[in-house]
Amino acid sequence: MARIASLAEAVGELVHDGDQVALEGFTHLIPFAAGHEIIRQGRTDLTLVRMTPDLIYDQLIGAGCARKLIFSWGGNPGVGSLHRFRDAVQHSWPVPLEIEEHSHAGMANRYVAGASGLPFAVLRGYTGTDLPKQTDTIKPVSCPFTGEVLTAVPALNPDVTIVHAQRADRKGNVQLWGITGVQKEAVLAAKRSLVTVEEIVDELEPRPNAVTLPGWVVTMVAEVPQGAHPSYAHDYYVRDNEFYKQWDAISRDRDSFGQWLAEIR
């Protein structure tokens, strides 16, 4: 049974300096409040894992929490670049950032392997790209039955995965719906997990297409209304596209980012 705690308590207990941490949510249900709590608690040397670093990792990277990033697409969707990510890669600011770069299909399959308890996943991917020259976690593998050369990528098993969901019950059973991304795999792949939720309810009513994470596979649950903002929570609030556009200016230079960071801290 998942333990219900405050966000500060849960992050304090589950996220340690130097951990490999995955905060997942594909455009939808991105756990921003938990990211901000990691910044407030001053975690450092994290290996951040996420398919789309998005604003949340731009913030963590700019705040100096990360040593390494494992990812597949680092932009501000529909807006442009992630300036803090760029500054870290191009100028090692505020600290050097090592990168391990994949495609979406590769990252998704790495989580699948992690959730499945397998050492690696197989896909037909990365054909003709330069990625395998730069990323040593992309290797060819031959099918033992047909001889076809495919691509192998190793499992991801984060020390802790954090996701946001619409709701949980008092036993810590979690329910999320809408675009569910890779959250189920990311939670099942992890050694520890934290789910922040919009609300804790007495009973989870069935929802079409919902993913349920039973409380016994979740370590901790924290109630954090608006915890995905400026991302969104389907049936609770919409994506704050204006903030995504404003982030471009906020993050573009170190000073204006510094002002934003001071408010968060």
Partner 1 sequence: MTYTTDEMMTVAAARSLRDGTSCFVGIGLPSTAANLARATHAPDLVLIYESGCIGAKPGQLPLSIGDGILAETADSLVSVPEIFNYWLQPGRIDVGFLGAAQLDRHGRINTTVIGDYADPKVRLPGAGGAPEIATACKDVVIIVRQSKRTFAERLDFVTSAGRPSMIITDLGVLRPRDGEFVLTQVHPGIEVSQAIEATGWPLRVSADLSTTEPPTPSELTALRRLTG
Q: Which residues bind partner 1 (CB under 8 A)?
A: 26-28, 51-52, 71-75, 77-79, 81-82, 85-86, 89-90, 101-105, 108-109, 111-112, 123-131, 134, 178-182, 184-185, 209, 211, 232, 234, 238-239, 241, 244
Instruction: Tell me the two tokens of residue 103.
Output: 């495609």
Query: Nearer to partner 1 by C-beta: 151 or 173?
Result: 151
Q: Which is nearer to partner 1, 13 or 131 (CB)?
A: 131
Under DSSP, is residue 72 helix (H, G, I), strand (E, B) or coil?
A: coil
Q: How far is CA 26 from the centre of its chain?
A: 8
What type of residue is 235? Answer: D
Nearest residue (CB) to partner 1, 56 versus 220: 56
Tell the smallest beta-carbon distance from residue 203 to partner 1 (Å).
24
Three-class SS of 142-209: ECCCCCCEEEEEECCCCCEEEEEEEEEECCCCEEECCCCCCHHHHHHHCCEEEEEEEEEECCCCCCCC
- How far apart are CB 85 and partner 1 at their closest, in Å? 7
Closer to partner 1 at the Cβ: 139 or 265?
A: 139
Report in angstroms how near the CB of residue 235 gets to partner 1 at its nearest.
9
Nearer to partner 1, 32 or 111 (CB): 111
**From the CB of 231, what's the least distance to partner 1, in Å?**
9
